[in-house]
Amino acid sequence: MSDPAIRRPYRREGEEKRRDDLIAAAMALVAEGGTEAATVRAIAARAGVTPGLIRHYFQSKEELTHAAYRHVMESMTQEALRAIEGLPESDPIGRLAAFVAANFRPPVMTPAVVGVWASYMHLGRNDPVIHAIHEATYLGYRDRLQDLIAALPRPADPARDRREAIACNALIDGLWIEGGSLPDSFASGEVQRIALDGIGAMLGVRFPDTAYSNTALPGTADRKTAP
């Protein structure tokens, strides 16, 4: 007989994948038809499971909705952080540039991801859990951005760094929404360049020419924040 302790990690991995598949199915439906399209029956059909199985992973459709929104928000921050992996802390300008630039290429900036984000944000007006997720993920992203700004070679000033992180985040958000909603209205790499130029001007730094490359990082073509 097999040792249950050996089987348990495989079972956890399988259950995590099934949970991720359900979240991906929900996001795909939201991207195609808004939150109204993501019914339990439709999610089950898209994921290839029975509606009853969804209850094994999520107590309600609302819980699945919350998990999907959290996934969308956290994935965008993770992609930005992944962009600075391997970059030395001795290059704070390069690290900040890579973090910013990651927001303006797939899988972060796509019409589907912006559409999913907008649909879930609409729910936040009447859903305190969605609102709480938005607040936590926004502050988490902004804190990472503030850390990168604070590392720039200039006199320390936490209050200034906080103000600048808020301003830079607002610029990133606005350009991300427009670039993802109207991709055909901008030349390739244009939104990324505008973001880097604007943030560089606000912070008084000059980003290296390599920061303006619109080439995705190795391996990013296979990753998706949302279907």
Q: In terms of residue numbers, what domain contains 194? A: 68-222
Question: Which is higher by pLDDT, 3 or 57?
Answer: 57
Whole-number Å distance between alpha carbons of 200 and 222: 30
The answer to which of 4-13, 84-93, 191-200, 205-214 has the lowest mean pLDDT is 4-13
> What secondary structure does DSSP assign to 16-73, as a single string?
HHHHHHHHHHHHHHHHHH-GGG--HHHHHHHHTS-HHHHHHH-SSHHHHHHHHHHHHH
Q: What is the pLDDT of residue 214?
A: 55
Residue 197 lies in a domain: yes
pLDDT confidence band for 106 (50 / 70 / 90): very high
Q: What is the pLDDT of residue 69?
A: 92
- Residue 103 in contact with residue 88, Cβ under 8 Å? no
Residue 80 lies in a domain: yes
- Residue 114 in contact with residue 176, Cβ under 8 Å? yes
> For 66, what's the count of Cα atoms within 13 Å in the CB-facing half-sphere?
16
Q: What is the pLDDT of residue 147?
A: 98
* Chain length of the chain: 227
Question: pLDDT above 90 covers what percent of the chain?
Answer: 71
Any idea what the CATH number is for the domain that residue 110 is in? Answer: 1.10.357.10
The angle at the Cα of 194, spanning 188 to 200, to the nearest 5 degrees, equals 135
Report how far Cα 179 is from the mean position of its chain's Cα atoms.
15
Residue 33 lies in a domain: no
φ, ψ for residue 39 (rounded to 5)? -80, 165
pLDDT per position as a tens digit, 60-83 = 989 999 999 999 999 999 999 999
140: pLDDT strictly greater than 50: yes
* Mean pLDDT on 179-196: 96
pLDDT per position as a tens digit, 160-172 = 999 999 999 999 9
Residue 190 lies in a domain: yes
* Mean pLDDT on 132-153: 97
Residue 210 lies in a domain: yes
Mean pLDDT of the chain: 87
Bond before 51 cis per omega within 30 degrees: no
3: pLDDT strictly greater than 80: no
Taking alpha carbons only, the member of 117, 138, 35 closest to residue 69 is 117
186: pLDDT strictly greater than 90: yes
Residue 51 lies in a domain: no
Residue 38 lies in a domain: no
Residue 49 lies in a domain: no
The count of structural domains within the chain is 1
